[in-house]
Structure 1
């Protein structure tokens, strides 16, 4: 049996409760271990060598004197630490915790959710570039959008006044629109091309990030609109 006190441990006070300094995932475990290990004897942990010195892994139940009587205990974090709780209350609290963490075996879905999943399953494709594309899950019985042209036009005219009063903002906004068109996010369109199709006008405006001259354009899709 090896004397544990002679092994240079990464944490000499591992047996003393203390805040966690660092969590390492199994994805880098192979980079941490150096291949050496020392057995502390039957029923005791094994000391594995790491780049941080040795660390213990295994059972530790016989390193300490077993109590005469077995006591069930748990640490409950409560907003009322002075509140006394019985063993029965602790068990109930733990049961509720584990039940809340368990995933549902069967999740009930609505017809709309099933339709959305079917669209994703049947229309998802992958481009040569590696990007995935999928058809947008539009509703067959689309709700009435109402007439959004008037309020979008009014917001656009207000934006024009703002751009005329601020030449720097105007330049930035024109650059943004040119980039959007260049990237294919938008294209010129005459109202006659969609006059008899469902359509929606989205107002937009630009703001500068705090302490920066970078323009951020905000599309107001939740703009109040009249319903026909």
Structure 2
């Protein structure tokens, strides 16, 4: 089964998305882990599987463990690349023959895999064209490619003015007693779990319990 892969020289672990994992129907082992990206957490993994990857051009194959994630990254590339001017790539056996067409990335191979598959052979042209690197899976491409994406947004001046007024940050000195109480409540009761999630108690008003009274019997009666 052909599944799109992507090598990341900065990744410490190999990852596979949930959809590809289910298509492969491989046995899954339970594991507790949180995978973090650049400044943010990608989420909790949903298990660990062992996958075998094989070149489409030769008998070269390898095994690796991959953490199962709900989603990896968005489609790559972001838009279709015009490769007609890159004549030096025409006769290469590429690891991904459809590299210029946007598509999902199902597997992210870690840096240790990259070091195992890298081979001698580099082709490069001008700065705005891809660099081709030979690997045991075929030629892979990287580098800077110029693309033009133009997004135009029209807004009325009055709408923008209202937006900035709405998004204006309130001065901390102008907080009301209720807001100060709520902020203090968060500071005193907020804690972070080992999973990376935050837990905080509900900021109920001081006298709300007395005003509400005992509502549990009425709530149970309505539920029943």
Report the structure, 1 or 2, having the larger helix content.
1
TM-score, normalised on structure 1? 0.34
Higher RCO structure (Cα 8 Å, ≥6 apart) = 2
TM-score, normalised on structure 2? 0.34
